[in-house]
Chain A
Amino acid sequence: MKQRFISSAQIILQFALTTVGLTGQSYPGKPQIIRCRSLEKETFSCWWKPGSDGGHPNNYTLFYSKDSEEKIYECPDYLTSGPNSCYFDKNHTNPWTTYIITVMATNEIGSNSSDPQHVDVTSIVQPDAPVNLSLETNTSANMSYLWAKWSPPLLADASSNSHEYHYELRLKPEEKEEWETVSVGVQTHYEVSSLQAGVKYIVQVRCMLDLGEWSEWSSEKSIQIPKERLPPEKPTIIKCRSPEKETFTCWWKPASDGGLSTNHTLLYSKEGEEKVYECPDYKTAGPNSCYFDKKHTSFWTIYNITVRATNEMGSNVSDPHYVDVTYIVQPDPPVNITLELKKSIKRKPYLVLTWSPPPLADVRSGWLTLEYELRLKPEEGEEWETIFVGQQTQCKMFSLNPGKRYIVQIHCKPDHHGLWSEWSPEMYIEIPTDFKVKDMVVWIIVGVLSSLICLIMSWIMILKGYRMMAFILPPVPGPKIKGIDTHLLETGKSEELLSALGCHGFPPTSDCEELLIEYLEVEDSEDQQLMPNHDTPSKNTKIVLKETDSDSGRGSCDSPSLLPVKCREPRGLPSALQTQDVRAKEKKGEKGSWEAQCMASEQKTLPCNNESTKSCTWLAAQLPSTQPAMFAYHSTVEAFKMTLNTTNVNTSPVLVGNEENHQSLYPIAETVYDDVEKVGENSKTDQTTVQVRQNQHNDKSPFLNPKLMDYVEVHKVRQDEEPTLLLKHKENNGKTKKCTVSGTNKEYTKVSTVVDHHILVLLPDQRTQNTPVSQEPVAETSQNPQQSQAEKNTSYSMTTPSDSRRDTSGSDYMDPSSFMPSFK
């Protein structure tokens, strides 16, 4: 009831105060109860935080009521727990009661109350930290223990000390962060084992009443855990060294000292003596070492050295170390190293190294003999070059790279035994760049300049190269004699030359045969078939010859199909050959016309056969056998003879036929073949005659060639321009007219020209048949350039035995014949 009243009164007051506050002063701010805490569940205290004082001194009053009663009480004790607190002593504390507590601040203007706080004493128990923590260490059986003791927290009421606290202890090594917490229980002491020896530990304790909170940690206490108390472990003798072969020092490494201060004693006995001595000098060489001065150093004596480590708990002795000082000499590095550059007579710089033995080493007496080794490398180099120099104290280094900086080091070692000293400190020397480098520069400049000049020259040459060339090397005028093959001139074969010039010394007859053959091939197979014939490495020597011929004549022959034509060239009819080539091309391009011509030739052939049996028979004779080629040749020869001497109508057409060509040739061959079959007997008779004539022909052949050439030229003209041909025809005799009548008019025209030169009279009988005959000699002539006539003969003989068509010339002829029917 009262509480409610108060609260309602407060509200009223607050309103009043707020109105006042607006005018300047105000009632106090609302205080706040911070916490209530019971140390031991029998008493408790509450603390509050004042609000704003409102500009006036405040009075604070704590009221409380119990949940079991309606009555409101004021704080029994404002002093015990300090300012702004209220202490409830035993009498005012009932653990079974919930207290409702408010604090009211009052000043002149008004008052303000805190929010009420409900307090259950049992739930706010938090004791103070334990006190009087003390630590002890105890060591037994190599184990260290830590004893911690403390007292329960002090209470304001000294009479109530019967509470039972639970304790917790935590500890850690001083340098660590993590605590190790141990639940102790209700005891006020604890023993910690498994501690690290020699570590300082920090310990704290806290306590708790059964349901409350843990107290704060007590103040820290620390204690040093003593090191283990053990006998030391075995020390190790590291090494013994004599720097100058007069004294020596031994070093050892102590092992663990067992946590106690340990003394090390070096004991030694010398060979031949029973007595054990102690190290004469522990200090000179630093800690953990023993220095044996000259008096205590003997050579050629084995020292048995041991080190004993001793502490309270006992001692331990190292393994014995046997030392003969003779073998443990390791001098100091050499000193006074000087590097000097000198120049030899050739001005080549070389390096002179000098040094002195280490000052301690008495080299002069001969007691110690040192040997030296030096090493050097360019500064940026990786690998050292090591040079053993023996007992010298100087060294000359040649062949150092000029312009490089070298690092040099030296070390030394007694002769026979001992160890190499440390390397001396690095010494640097820069080898000056040689004057040679200047020379190099000069050479480089010269090289660059010369190459520049070359460049300019070549540039000029390119720009005006042709003029220059023409100026320096005027073109050699080509031979202007008709029929002279420049190629022949180049090859320089006198025979051919002569023949070309008109000398009949060489036998073109055989060539003519070949020519025939070629023609035949060409026509039979046309372009395609010609190729294989030529390409196939036929066993026939003739073919081989052709091939070679073709090679020689390639300069003028454009297409392989014209090989037979080429063959003619070497004979001294270059111009004619060329023209023929042209023709061939034309033919290729225009098959129709070609075929037409062929037809014409065929037509002609028929009459030819009828009229001039001789020529036909010749061809026929040639076809069946290899010899026939010869016959053909001969026949041509005959024809030539005829033209030359008697101006025989039959022969003249033959000549024309030669120039005329392949087109006509093919049909001709056919006709011939037919003729042969038909008039085989006649041909035989002709052959005989031919043979006879061959001989003659050989003699006369030279004459024939020039004639042929002439004809060829004419052909060109003809082919190119018919009108010219026509003109020639006009010039020709009436016989030539006949030629024009025949399909192969052009050929006849050629013949007519021949007639002009040699006064030959062309017969109207001239027909395709004749033309092939004429071709034969040309072919033969083509063979000549490459092979001597003798060879040809042999080749012929060789060919005859072979059965295959290709092998024999006859076979070649045969092929065309076989094709014939298709054409027909």
Chain B
Amino acid sequence: MSTKGAPLKGLLLVVLLVSHMLLTKEGVTSLPICPSGSVSCQLSLEELFDRAVKLSHYIHFLSSEMFNEFDERYAQGRGFIAKAVNSCHTASLTTPEDKEQAQQIHHEDLLNLILGVLRSWNDPLIHLASEVQRIKEAPETILSKAVEIEEQNKRLQEGMEKIVGRVHSGEVGNDIYTPWDGLPSLQLADEDSRLFAFYNLLHCLRRDSHKIDNYLKVLKCRLIHDNNC
């Protein structure tokens, strides 16, 4: 973090950060918002988490609506679910798979994982929003949701970066990222395969958005409410 600006301000910031980190490490809520004397008044971590959770909740709501809509419209009786196993591009990211894992993982790692997942979706979401239009008789609702999700995903990413920046002790890991190579499958000539590609993508989006939402809620309870939501 850039604390080497004006000496006075920098010193103050450092002190704040250190105290904050100590507190958070002890699992205590930490959130001075506008401490007297501080130059820049920033949102509390709680506020940040609240917003992030709301966003992630919203994104997941949209993605599951979109998935359901697609499922009802295009996937009935095609057995996509059986084929959809183990084919999310973010599967390579090892994320907690149950409560214990989610509780055991260090919050910084979890935050980084969340960020990683979010980043991994940037690319596919952009393509999704554009490719959805090519689906035959694609309902406007699916399209609008795809666009909305893409937008909200970026916002959530910004918010998460802020949170990570606030919470993180070391460097923000920019390395966590899974490339997506599913674009060709979205453009397949075979309608069935193409629809499955969409199905799979939406299914994965629903899953990952739920993951993020769930992780964020866990993190919020852990960091803000000391596991006592």
- By a beta-carbon cutoff of 8 Å, the part of chain A in contact with chain B is 245-246, 271-272, 294, 297-302, 304, 320, 322, 324, 326, 362-367, 369, 415-417
Contact = CB atoms under 8 A, between A and B. Distances in A.
A401 to B, nearest CB: 36
A302 B218 CA distance: 22
A365 B207 contact: no
A298 B222 contact: no
Closest 5 CB pairs of A and B: A366-B221, A298-B97, A366-B217, A272-B86, A366-B218
A363 B229 CA distance: 7
Nearest to B223: A366
B98 A362 contact: no
6 contacts: A298-B97, A298-B98, A300-B211, A326-B207, A367-B218, A416-B57
Contacts of A302: 81, 84-86
Interface of B: 57, 60-61, 64, 81-82, 84-86, 91, 95, 97-100, 102-103, 207-208, 210-211, 213-214, 217-222, 225, 227-229
Contacts of B102: 367
A365 B221 contact: yes
Contacts of B98: 246, 294, 297-299
Contact of A365 (B82, B84, B208, B222): B222
Contact of A416 (B64, B85, B86): B64
Nearest to A369: B217
Nearest to B219: A366
A245 B210 contact: no
A188 to B, nearest CB: 63
Contacts of A363: 229
A245 B85 contact: no
Contacts of A304: 82, 85
Nearest to A245: B99
B61 A416 contact: yes
B100 A294 contact: yes
B85 A272 contact: yes
Contacts of B219: 366
B228 A416 contact: no
Nearest to B82: A322
Contacts of B82: 304, 320, 322
Contacts of A326: 207, 210
Most buried by A among B61, B220, B221, B225: B221
A366 B229 contact: yes
Given A300-B210, A416-B64, 7 more contacts: A245-B99, A271-B85, A294-B98, A300-B97, A302-B84, A364-B229, A366-B227
A415 B97 CA distance: 18
B210 A367 contact: no
Name the residue in A245, A271, A416 with the highest tally of chain B Cβ atoms < 10 Å from its Cβ: A416
Contact of A367 (B85, B91, B208, B214): B214
A416 B213 contact: yes
B198 to A, nearest CB: 18
A61 to B, nearest CB: 98
A294 B104 CA distance: 14
Nearest to B92: A272
Contacts of A301: 97
Nearest to A297: B98
B53 to A, nearest CB: 9
A271 B229 contact: no
A217 B116 CA distance: 88
A446 B200 CA distance: 76
A364 B228 contact: yes
Interface centre among A272, A320, A366 (most CB of B within 10 A): A366
Nearest to B99: A367
Given A365-B222, A366-B229, A322 B99 contact: no
B211 to A, nearest CB: 5
Nearest to A391: B229
A365 B103 contact: yes
Contacts of A417: 64, 210
A297 B100 CA distance: 11
Nearest to B208: A300
A676 to B, nearest CB: 100
Nearest to A415: B57
Contacts of A272: 85-86, 91
A362 to B, nearest CB: 7
Given A300-B97, A416-B64, A365 B210 contact: no
B149 to A, nearest CB: 15
A294 B100 CA distance: 8
B95 A300 contact: yes
Contacts of A298: 97-98
A362 B99 contact: yes
Given A294-B98, A364-B229, A417-B64, A300 B207 contact: yes
A122 B161 CA distance: 115
A239 B1 CA distance: 51
Nearest to B64: A416
In this complex, the member of A322, A362, A364, A365 whose beta carbon has the largest number of chain B beta carbons within 10 angstroms is A365
A294 B207 contact: no
Contacts of A299: 97-98, 214
Contacts of B61: 416
A442 to B, nearest CB: 52
A417 B98 CA distance: 16
Nearest to A301: B97
Among B102, B220, B227, B229, the one with the most A-chain Cβ atoms within 10 Å of its Cβ is B229
Contacts of B208: 300
